Amino acid sequence: MPASRSIAQKAERLRREIREHEYRYYVLDEPAISDRQFDRLMDDLKDLEARYPDLVTPDSPTQRVGGETREGFQPVRHASPMLSLDNTYSYDELRDFDRRARERAERSSLEYVAENKFDGLSLSLVYEKGALARAVTRGDGTTGEDVTANVRAIRSIPLAVERGALHWLGVPADFEVRGEAVMTRRAFEELNRQQDETGGKRFANPRNAAAGSVRVLDPAITASRKLDFFAYFLYVDGRVPLSTHWKALEALDKLRFLSSLRHASLCPSIDEVVAYCERWESKRDTLPYEIDGIVVKVNSIALERELGFTTKAPRWAVAYKYPARQETTIVRDVIWQVGRTGALTPVAMLDPVEIGGVTVSRSTLHNMDEIERLGLHVGDTVVIERAGEVIPHVVKVTRHGHGKKPQPPSRCPSCDRSIHKSPDEVAYRCVNNSCPAKFREALLHFASRHAMDIDGLGDKLVDQLVGKELVKDLADLYGLKLGDLEPLERMGRKSAENLLDEIEKSKQAGLARLVYGLGIRFVGERTGELLAGHFGSLEALAKASVEELTEVPEVGPKVAESIAEFFSEKANRELVEKLKRAGLRAEEKRRATRDARLEGKTFVFTGILPHLTREEAGEIVAAHGGKVANSVSKKTDYVVVGAEPGSKYDKARELGVEILDEDEFKKLAGA
Ligand code: IVH
C-alpha cells in the first residue's frame, strides 16, 4: 500500500531525528539520548519502512547495512591518484621541507595546517547529488577496491549531506572526501578479546583491525566493528573547492563529517608546527585511537598548486613521524598467568628494554595459537611493540635461541588444580572457583576504571588484601576498616582513609558498572548497560532465565547462558545478597523515584500510535517500572496496537495477550 503524506512525513521526521543522534553520538561524541532510546527510534523507522517499502530511501539510516554478502571487491580507478607523503623523522628534516617549499614558492614564511596522522586505512568517498555513491580503498594509489557496502556501515560517515549546507558553503553536490578509517584502541582490544573467545584470528594492531574490518565480504561484520572515519580532504573534480585547506576542513566539519579539524592547528610558520608536533608527542596516548605522526600541509590552495608534486608525493605536504615504539630484546622465560575467568595467558619475561620512555620487562603472548604463529621459543630475540596504552606485545621473532618451546602447564600455577581445555576454545582454563589468582584478577577488574572505579586499589594492594585474607569475596571490600588497611605495606593513615572513601563512593557506581564489574564471562561494559537497563535491579537479573535474558537486545544464547550459569552458583547468589546488604546501589537510580504502577509488566508496541512516538511510549513504560520487549511471547503482559499493526498483533491474539490501544495504555500508566 502506498504511504499517505502524513506517514511519509513521519518517516522523514524519524530519519532526521536519527541522523541528528548519529551525528551527536558518532561525530561529536555527545549523545543526547540513551542507546535504548536510539534503538527505539530505529525500530520505529524500520517498522514503518517494512510496512511501506516505497518509503525506503537509499540514504535512510536503516539502509546502512545491506543484507547480501559479496564475492569480492570490484576495482575502481580514482578520479585523481591517492598519493603518499614523504616522511620526516626529525625537526631538522621538517625544517628542511619548509625551507625547500619557501624557496620554491618564493616566500619568507609559509602558513601550515598541522593535523594528526591517523593510523588506519585511507578511503575515498564519492558523493553524487549529495549522497554517498561510492567508497574506495587507496589500493595502489591509482586503482582501489569498491568497499561501498561496508563503508556505509561506519556511522560517523554521513550517507547524505544537507543540501542547504552545501549551498551555503558554495560546494557543489558532487564532491569527494578523503580520509582515514580508524579503530579506537578500546574497540581493538575488545575485538581481540572476542576473537580469542571465538577462536578467531587476533589482529596485530588497530590499523590492521580497521583495514581487516573494511575489507570483509559481509557488511554486517564491518557494522559490528566500531570504526570511525576522519575526513581530511575535500575535492571537487580533483581540486580543493576553497581558498585554503583550513576552510576545506571547516567545510567538512559543517557537512557533519568527523574531520581532522578537531585536533588540527593553523600554524603561521614552521616554528608553530614544531611546537604542535612536540605537544602531540606526549599527548598522543590520551587519544582514543592511534596516531603515528603529524601531517603538515601548506594552507593556501593557490600555493599548493604552485608547489605541485614530485613523482610520488606532494611538495606542499609532509609527514612528521614519531619514533617507532618498537625495540628488540630477548625472551628469558614464559610464565602462565591466571586471568579472572580462569584462562591461562602465556607471558614472555624479557630482558628489560625502554620503549618510548617506559621500561618493558614482560609482554603478553595471548595464547598457544599466538606462540605457534610467532614460532617463539625461550631464548629467542624478538621485536616488542608498545602502542599507546595497549599492553606491549611481541611483533615477531628475529633470531632463534636454542631454548624450549613453551608448553601450557598441566596444573594451575596458583592453586595447583588440574587445567582444562574445551575443544572449541584456544585457552586453557583453571576451573577452580576458589583459585586465589582468579579472585585476585576478579577483584582488580571489579575495582577497575570502567567498573566500580575504586582509585588506589592496584595490584600490590590487592595482593596484600587477598594474601592476608582480608578480602575473600568482592563484598568483603565494603567491610574493610581503617585498622585493616593502616598496617599494610605502603599504606599510611591518609591513603587508608582515601581508599575507604573511594570504596564508599563506589557504592553509588550504579547497576550497569556493577553488572560489568562482577566479571561474568562475555559481559562487557555495553552488555552491562543493556542488562541494567532491561532488568533494573541485580536481583531481577540474577533471577532471569536464559529465555528472558535473550529478550535483551544484543544478548545472544551464549551470553545468556553464561549469565544464567554465573547466577546459578550459590556463592554468586550469596555475593549478590552481601553486596546489597553492604548498601550498593543495585538498582537503576530512576527506579527509586518513579511510581511503580507498571512494575514487572512487559509491553510490546506495534503499529503507529495516534499521538505518541514509540520513544515517548517507551519512556512512559520505563518511568512506571515496566519494560518494553521487541517480540510477543507468553511473557508479554500487554500489546499496545496502533494503526496498521504488524504480525505482533496476530501473535498477541494467538497467545491471548491483552491488547490495548493508545488511550487504554495511557490510562493504565496514569499518563
Ligand atoms: S594527507 C597526498 N592527512 O597517511 C596524500 N594523510 O603517509 C596526502 N594519513 O595515505 C595525505 N592521517 O592514509 C593526510 N591527516 C592526514 C592523515 C593522512 C593519516 C595517511 C593517509 C596517507 C598516508 C600518507
Domain limits, the chain = 5-63, 106-317, 326-421, 436-506, 511-581, 602-669
User: Within 10 A of 54 (CB to CB), how many other CB atoms are there?
Assistant: 10
Please give the average per-residue pLDDT across 559-572, as a whole number.
93
Ligand 1 near 84 CB (within 6 A): yes
Q: What is the CATH code for 436-506?
A: 1.10.150.20
Distance 120 CA to ligand 1 centre (A): 10
In whole angstroms, what is the distance from residue 385 CA to residue 299 CA? 34
Domains 326-421 and 436-506 fall in the same CATH topology: no
* Confidence check: pLDDT of 593 > 60: no
Q: How far is the CA of 371 from the centre of ligand 1 (A)?
A: 34
Q: Which CATH class is domain 511-581?
A: mainly alpha
Mean pLDDT (the chain) is: 89
pLDDT at 552 over 70: yes
Name the residue with higher pLDDT: 560 or 186: 560
Strand partners of residue 394: 384
For atom 17 of ligand 1, the residue with the nearest CA is: 117
Handedness of CA 219, 221, 223, 229 (dihedral sign): negative
- The pLDDT assigned to 594 comes to 45
Q: Whose CA is nearest to atom 4 of ligand 1?
A: 117
Percent of the chain with pLDDT over 70: 97
Phi, psi angle pair for 179, to nearest 5°: -175, -165
Distance 74 CA to ligand 1 centre (A): 23
CB 74 within 8 Å of CB 67: no
Testing ligand 1's pocket by substitution, the residue of 80, 82, 85, 97 carrying the most ligand atoms inside 8 A of its CB is 85
Fold of 106-317: D-amino Acid Aminotransferase; Chain A, domain 1 (3.30.470)
Determine phi and psi for 428, rounding to 5 degrees: -95, 145
List 117, 438, 627, 648, catalytic entry: 117
CATH topology for 326-421 is OB fold (Dihydrolipoamide Acetyltransferase, E2P) (2.40.50)
DSSP letter for each residue of 99-128: HHHHHHHT-S---EEEEEEE-SEEEEEEEE
Catalytic annotation present for 117:
yes
Residue 635 has pLDDT above 90, yes or no: no
What's the pLDDT at 66? 67
**How far is it, in rounded angstroms, from Cα 541 to Cα 563?**
9
Per-residue pLDDT of 433-453, as tens digits, reads 889 999 999 999 999 988 999
* CA 163 – CA 252 distance, rounded (Å): 13
From the CA of 116, give the closest atom in ligand 1.
Answer: 15
Q: What is the 317 CA–ligand 1 centroid distance (Å)?
A: 9
| Chosen CATH of 602-669 out of 3.40.50.10190, 2.10.109.10, 1.10.600.10, 3.30.70.3040 | 3.40.50.10190
**Torsion sign, CA atoms 23, 29, 33, 34:** positive
Span of 118-132, 246-260, 548-562 with lowest mean pLDDT: 548-562
> What confidence tens digit (pLDDT) does each residue in 329-361 have?
999 999 999 988 889 999 999 999 988 778 899
Q: Is the pLDDT of residue 429 over 50?
A: yes
Cβ atoms 113, 246 nearer than 8 A: yes
Q: Does domain 5-63 have CATH number 1.10.287.610?
A: yes
pLDDT-based confidence at residue 175 (cuts at 50, 70, 90): very high
85 within ligand 1 shell (Cβ under 6 A): yes
Grid coordinates of 243: 581558498
Torsion of CA 271, 276, 277, 279, to 10 degrees: 130
C-alpha separations of 232 from 252, 371, 389 in Å: 8, 39, 25
Dihedral class, residue 39 (left if φ above 0, else alpha if ψ from -120 to 50, else beta): alpha
pLDDT tens for 59-93 read: 899 888 765 556 678 899 999 999 889 999 999 99
